[in-house]
Amino acid sequence: MESVNIHQAKTNLSRLLSRVELGEEIIISNRGIPIAKLVPFHNPSNRRASLGLDRGRFTVPEDFDAPLPEDILAAFEGGEE
Per-residue pLDDT of the chain (81 residues; tens, 9 = 90+): 899 999 999 999 999 999 999 999 999 999 999 999 999 987 666 566 777 788 888 898 999 999 989 998 889 888 665
Reported pTM: 0.52
pLDDT confidence of residue 56: 87
CA dihedral 64, 70, 74, 77 (to 10 degrees): 40
Ordered structural domains, the chain, with CATH: 2-38 (3.40.1620.10)
The amino acid sitting at 37 is K
> How far apart (Å, rounded) are the C-alpha atoms in residues 16 and 34?
16
pLDDT confidence of residue 48: 66
> How far apart (Å, rounded) are the C-alpha atoms in residues 30 and 33?
5
pLDDT confidence of residue 47: 61
Query: What are the angstrom distances between the C-alpha of 22 and each of 16, 40, 42?
Result: 10, 8, 12
